[in-house]
Amino acid sequence: MADVTLRNLRKSYGNAETIHGIDLDIRHGEFCVFVGPSGCGKSTLLRMIAGLETISDGDLSIDGQRVNQVDAADRGVAMVFQNYALYPHMSVRENMSFGLRIAGRSRKEIAEKVDDAGRILQLDALMDRKPSQLSGGQRQRVAIGRAIVRDPKVFLFDEPLSNLDAELRVQMRVEIAKLHQEIGNTMIYVTHDQTEAMTLADKIVVLRAGRIEQVGSPLELYENPKNLFVAGFIGSPKMNFLKARLVADGGAPTLDCGGARLPAPAWLAAGDPGAEITLGIRPEHFDRTPNPEAKLRIAVDVVENLGGTSFVYGKTAGGETIIAEMRDRAIPRPGEDVEIGFRMEDARFFDATGARLQPKA
Ligand SMILES: Nc1ncnc2c1ncn2[C@@H]1O[C@H](COP(=O)(O)OP(=O)(O)O)[C@@H](O)[C@H]1O
Ligand SMILES: [Mg+2]
């Protein structure tokens, strides 16, 4: 069983620590995605698992065995890089065979494995071509094929689709998902693209500045972000954030937010009056139904019509920017002043430090 376990894993370059004690359990067969902004330590962490970077402190186990000191070649992992790293003078077949030839495997075994990988990746007809005769997507498939023939316990991918154009990226994303379904190995996949993370992962690990912000399934992170960072990182277009203040002036407590008064949930109303909080609401949770619980007025700046759906960009009375996704026919026009509504149960609340505020269980 190719579980991967990280215990207080740390990495320092000289005196500067860049990975600050990561604890993580990746289960056998899981598709785990490391996601976060550029420079947050995704590649470093993946390379530490691969054995391409030394581990400064902590324990890394693969398949129940501590592998901190084990050579990359003996960890049972295979890595696929963003830039493919193919040998230009070798054919597709030779590129995929090379590692097995070096390892002294028999001709018969090599031929079987390479043919098998070629079939899975639909490279059968391209086996004798050189990398220069392939498209970007085909090259990336050869790089994946080279990993498959090694039959690793764990596949490691570092932004494998970043060099492809948008359409090909979507296509290869689906192929990687199919590959995981077909072979079922543990996969660890690094990306800065939250859409890739949402669509591929069983488990998403959100990283920021060398620390884990949150671990969970795509829907857990989408529904229940622990803090402002995760709430803003997961979801596209981003969750809207509005400054809000709790007001208790005699009647039922309300939220002073975006130039409007919104009903405050009872659990929130029990908090400090006057406390500065942030209300988060996703673009898809707005609508123009006649009787929404919570209403905001926005002055519409721009409308992006995508056919099935439209993104309406506007400003509240307080000057805060709002993006609302609209699917009905009553799409407002730029320059209009409109009322949009949402349900308070779809709103998320955060305190001044960015931590999520929730009802006590
Ligand atoms: N060889 C190195 N020497 C010093 N600092 C490094 C080295 N490699 C990476 N770093 C630093 O570690 C941090 C994480 O980098 P990296 O893992 O490449 O980020 P990501 O892949 O998330 O964009 C960055 O601040 C980067 O500058
Ligand atoms: Mg990187």
Q: How far apart are CA 304 and CA 153, in angstroms?
A: 45
Is residue 39 within 6 Å of ligand 1 at its C-beta? Answer: yes
Three-state SS at 235 = coil
H or E element that contains 177: helix 166-183
Which range among 28-37, 135-144, 245-254 has the greatest average pLDDT? 28-37
All domains of the chain in start order, with CATH: 4-233 (3.40.50.300), 240-357 (2.40.50.140)
Q: For 77-136, what is each residue's pLDDT tens digit?
A: 999 998 888 999 999 999 999 999 998 999 999 999 999 999 988 899 999 999 999 998
Q: How many CB atoms lie within 10 A of CB 199?
A: 15
Residues with CB under 5 Å of ion ligand 2 are: 43
Q: Which bin fits 285, alpha (ψ -120 to 50), beta or left (φ > 0)?
A: alpha
Q: In terms of Cα–Cα distance, which of 51, 67, 47 is closest to 7?
A: 67
Is residue 140 within 6 Å of ligand 1 at its C-beta? Answer: no
| CA-CA-CA-CA torsion sign (246, 228, 221, 59) | negative
Q: For 246-280, what is each residue's pLDDT tens digit?
A: 887 777 788 999 888 999 988 888 777 778 899 99
Q: What is the pLDDT of residue 118?
A: 92
Q: For 11-26, what is each residue's pLDDT tens digit?
A: 999 999 999 999 999 9
Q: How far apart are CA 356 and CA 226, in angstroms?
A: 5
The whole-number average pLDDT for the span 45-58 is: 98
Is residue 41 within 6 Å of ligand 1 at its C-beta? Answer: yes
pTM of the model: 0.94
Mutate which of 44, 83, 233 for ligand 1 pocket (most atoms within 8 A of beta carbon) = 44
Span from the CA of 39 to the centroid of ligand 2 (angstroms) = 7
Residue closest via CA to ligand 1's atom 3 equals 13
